[in-house]
Amino acid sequence: MSNITLIIQREFLTRVKKKSFIIMSILGPLLIGGVMALIIYLALNQGEVISKIKVVDESGVIVSKLSDSKSILYERDTMPIAISREIFNGDEYYGILFIPADGLRKPEGITLFTEKQPNVTVVTAIESSVQKLIEDIKLNAAGIRKEVLDSIKTKVSLIQKPVSASGEDKQFSADLTAGIGFAGGLLIYLFVFMYGVQVMRGVMEEKTNRIVEVIISSVKPYQLMMGKIVGVALVGLTQFLIWVVLTIAVTTAVSSFMVGKKSFSSEQIGQLQQYQNKGVNTPAFDTDTIQQPGFLKSLSGFNFTRLLFMFAFYFIGGYLLYSALFAAIGAAVDSETDTQQFILPVSLPLIIAYIVSTIVMTNPESKLGYWFSIIPFTSPVVMMVRMPFDPPVTDIIISMIALIAGFVFTTWFASKIYRTGILMYGKKPTFREMGKWLFYKR
Amino acid sequence: MSLLSIRNVTKKYASHTALKSISFEIPQSSVFGLLGPNGAGKTSLIRIINQITGPDEGEIYFNGIRLNAGHISQMGYLPEERGLYRKMEVGEQAIYLARLKGLSRAEAISRLKMWFEKFEIAAWWRKKVDELSKGMQQKVQFIITILHQPKLLILDEPFTGFDPINANIIKEELLKIKEGGATIMLSTHRMESVEELCSHIGLIDKAKKILDGSVKEIRKQFRSNIFEVRYHGHAINLANGLWGPYELVDHKIEEDHQYAKIRIEENIPPNQLIRSLVSEVEIVSFNELAPSMNDVFIKAVNEHKATG
């Protein structure tokens, strides 16, 4: 077995045999499933907290029509607003809803008084109720009956389908695409970071316990560095595979269990829609998307094999690019604290990529998206976000070539630093010194 | 023929020159002591021989062939700053390192088992390295270094971390290895080890070679012509016998005799002194005080300092 294969094997086996690997592999998806379940549960059960609202209605026409909901109880208050505020008892009541005399004509004067900053749920619930009420009153006054109105109200929810006739069976979904893209980019960001740091730690361990000199009397430093990078990559891929399998199993079980138990009530749908109107972004929980019978069908709008292949390519490419740099950091320093000054500049492009991806996910064809999906330091994250939107093939090819060139460059760069740094102890090298290392002869 | 031929090797770093045109011949089956003050350049030379770094100028020949990657499996190296993967099991780790030197898995296992039993540490096979004491770890490390039966064994301060008993075991193993045909290069400050083990020495100071040759020759070179005489009698009588090309350097009273250190001038045969003393005192023992390696080291380095 060649030396580099021996090294890869050792790096892989020592890490997967560790208890922490096994625990994280199993716990990871359980955690994700558990957190998802918790979020769904909390989202569905928000209404369990009851808020009592005192209503001071100077107009006189609204309070009688206000109906209590599961979470909000309205209580008429006959005091003038000033006194009501004076004697307000925060232990019993959440707040005071004040409707001025001309509230119907000028609804902008309607006020909610609370002791501290109110929460979105209560505010949106009250707004929703009062808004509906005033609309009904105005309609009645204009002589329009509710049934007529309901027949006029239209909800437009575009069916999204591919242009070509061969795509008859498929269905598109803008929200889902953005969600998948973002999730893909996020996963790459997390994995590159997690495993890059593992490489760095491994290099530092070898430096600290002084085994490195023994090993590089048997193998070239380059072989040790690459063996470690590839070994850790295999660990990452293995863990990822285990996670994918377990997560699918767990979340399928969880969501069918939870959604089966509670159907969405109209109030909850209303709340979720109000959330969206307020700009609280919950694409994953878009009720339209989930409730459309075609949810699973819209998954068919994606070429999953291509997505997975691209994900694998960008994960490996991004990881190779960054882990080389992390290896160089590990070789250059003596202690954990010294790593801080180097980790920041190295991880900055990744962080920028993450931020850019939140923008690109809603605007994938932008110039911003284009450039950041080509530059190899950010492309693994940003290109993944663009990928579900089927970007032009030329873009993809340029990006892939750039990424390969990128990691070839960082590997070359890192191996020079690694070679000199691993035997150097005691002084923290400046950037200038490390620049000189690039030119040392073997 | 020399096993290792180091010719005009120069090595420069950014801030200083570590080796200036160093040349040594390491004879086959010798125990070569590579000596020098701290910072002299020994570790740099060792790393070049191990092909961890390359020289800026000069060449090294191993058995007549220019140093290349194929020689790695024929060399063993125990660095001064040494360690092992702490969380890895001893046996597994030893096999891994042996395989990196080119041994097959099966060979590595059988040889390791043999050595572990010899050193009586078979029980440590499954333990993690950080469960062993420092002395145990050093033993394991030593075994790993010699396992692949290298033709050239390079040891940098091999005895640190060993108590006297274990240090002695190592010393005996080294002699056996040498008898088996291997060549050993030993870098150390422990001059007693040099006395006990080395057949040749090379001394480096401030990047330059200042001494090199067999121990015998070097002792001759540094002899100070001092002789130790143990005798019964009076010091006055001794003084009588010292008229002539002799100088009394030291004198003391030991348990049941007297002791004198006498320097004889160059080219005067010691027999002459004996004849001169025999009529004055009763000689109990008479021998030349050979220069110790410690003395040689100090003298050579000081001379080098003086000549700049």
Query: Contact B53/A442, CB-based, under 8 Å?
Result: yes
Going by pLDDT thresholds of 50, 70 and 90, the confidence category of residue B186 is very high
Residue ranges of chain A whose CB lies within 8 Å of a chain B CB: 1, 3, 6-7, 10, 14, 205-206, 209-211, 213-219, 423, 433, 436, 441-442
* A185: amino acid identity, one letter: G
Query: Contact B82/A213, CB-based, under 8 Å?
Result: yes
How far, in Å, CA of A30 to CA of A101, rounded?
Answer: 55
Determine the pLDDT at residue B163: 86
Length of chain A: 442
Query: Which residue has better confidence, B173 or A306?
Result: B173
Q: Do A203 and A226 meet the contact criterion of CB atoms below 8 Å apart?
A: no
Q: Which tokens go with A288?
A: 């339209």
Determine the pLDDT at residue B115: 92
How far, in Å, CA of A230 to CA of A234, rounded?
Answer: 6
What is the rounded average pLDDT of the residues B137-152?
A: 92
Query: Contact B85/A436, CB-based, under 8 Å?
Result: no
At B31-78, the pLDDT tens digits run: 999 999 888 889 999 999 999 888 999 999 999 999 998 899 899 999
Domain B2-220 shares a fold with domain B224-289: no
Length of chain B: 308
Query: Contact B52/A217, CB-based, under 8 Å?
Result: yes
Closest residue of A to B142, CA-based? A214
Instruction: State how far the alpha carbon of A51 is from the alpha carbons of A92, A100, A342, in Å.
Output: 9, 22, 51
At a CB cut-off of 8 Å and minimum separation 6, what does A3 contact? Answer: A218, A219, A223, A227, B100
CATH number of A51-149: 3.40.190.10
Task: Provide the H-helix boundaries in A110-173.
Answer: 120-142, 146-152
What is the rounded average pLDDT of the residues B1-19?
A: 89
Percent share of chain B, pLDDT over 90: 52
pTM for the model stands at 0.75
* A17: amino acid identity, one letter: K
> Which helix (H) or strand (E) is A111 found in, with range?
strand A111-114
- Using only the alpha carbons of chain B, give its radius of gyration: 24
* Nearest CA-CA partner of B163 in B138, B185, B194, B196: B138
Model confidence at B308: pLDDT above 70: no
Exposure of B209 by Cβ count < 10 A (0-12 exposed, 13-18 middle, 19+ buried)? buried
* Nearest CA-CA partner of A387 in A249, A144, A127, A180: A180
Residue ranges of chain B whose CB lies within 8 Å of a chain A CB: 14, 47, 50-54, 56, 72, 75, 77-79, 81-88, 96-97, 99-101, 141, 144
Residue A88: phi and psi, rounded to 5, are -60, 130
Determine the pLDDT at residue B155: 95
Determine the pLDDT at residue A266: 45
* Nearest CA-CA partner of B111 in B102, B60, A118: B102
Which ipTM score applies to this complex? 0.81
**Mutation site for B-interface testing, chosen from A19, A201, A213, A437 by largest number of B Cβ within 10 Å:** A213
Cβ-based neighbour number of residue A255 at 10 Å: 15
How far, in Å, CA of B197 to CA of B188, rounded?
Answer: 11
Q: Which tokens go with B201?
A: 């020495």
- Residues from chain A that touch B14, judged by Cβ atoms under 8 A, are 433, 436
Query: Contact B83/A209, CB-based, under 8 Å?
Result: yes
Determine the pLDDT at residue A201: 93
* Nearest CA-CA partner of A308 in A187, A437, A136: A187
State the average pLDDT for chain B.
90
- Label the pairing between strands B152-156 and B75-78: parallel
Closest CB from B85, B99, B144 relative to A209: B85
- C-beta contacts of A122-128 below 8 A and 24+ residues apart: A122/A51, A122/A71, A122/A72, A122/A94, A122/A95, A124/A271, A124/A274, A124/A275, A124/A278, A125/A69, A125/A71, A125/A72, A125/A271, A126/A53, A126/A72, A126/A97, A127/A274, A128/A270, A128/A271, A128/A274
- Residues from chain B that touch A436, judged by Cβ atoms under 8 A, are 14
DSSP B176-233: HHHHTT-EEEEE-S-HHHHHHH-SEEEEEETTEEEEEEEHHHHHHHH---EEEEEEES
Task: Provide the H-helix boundaries in chain B.
Answer: 42-49, 90-100, 105-118, 134-146, 164-179, 191-197, 215-222, 235-241, 270-278, 293-307
**Mutation site for A-interface testing, chosen from B44, B51, B52, B105 by largest number of A Cβ within 10 Å:** B52
Residue whose token pair is 């955690």: A31
CATH number of B2-220: 3.40.50.300
- Quick one: how many helices (H) and strands (E) in chain B? 10, 14
Query: Contact A210/B52, CB-based, under 8 Å?
Result: no
Query: Contact B96/A6, CB-based, under 8 Å?
Result: yes
* Nearest CA-CA partner of B26 in B231, B200, B276, B226: B200
Q: Which tokens go with B258?
A: 């007297």
All residue ranges of chain A with pLDDT < 50 are: 263-270, 272-295
Determine the pLDDT at residue A8: 95
- Label the pairing between strands B65-66 and B57-62: antiparallel
Q: What sign has the CA pseudo-torsion A429, A433, A434, A437?
A: negative
Determine the pLDDT at residue A298: 55
Domain extent listing, chain B = 2-220, 224-289
Query: Contact B100/A436, CB-based, under 8 Å?
Result: no
- Using only the alpha carbons of chain A, give its radius of gyration: 29
CATH number of B224-289: 3.30.70.60
Q: How far is A322 from chain B (nearest CA, A)?
A: 25
Domain extent listing, chain A = 51-149, 169-437
- Residues from chain B that touch A213, judged by Cβ atoms under 8 A, are 52, 77, 79, 81-82
Determine the pLDDT at residue A292: 43
Closest residue of A to B98, CA-based? A218
- Residues from chain A that touch B86, judged by Cβ atoms under 8 A, are 209
Size of the A and B interface in Cβ pairs below 8 Å: 61
Closest CB from B53, B86, B100 relative to A219: B100
At B236-281, the pLDDT tens digits run: 888 888 888 888 888 999 888 999 999 888 888 889 889 988 998 9
Determine the pLDDT at residue A397: 92
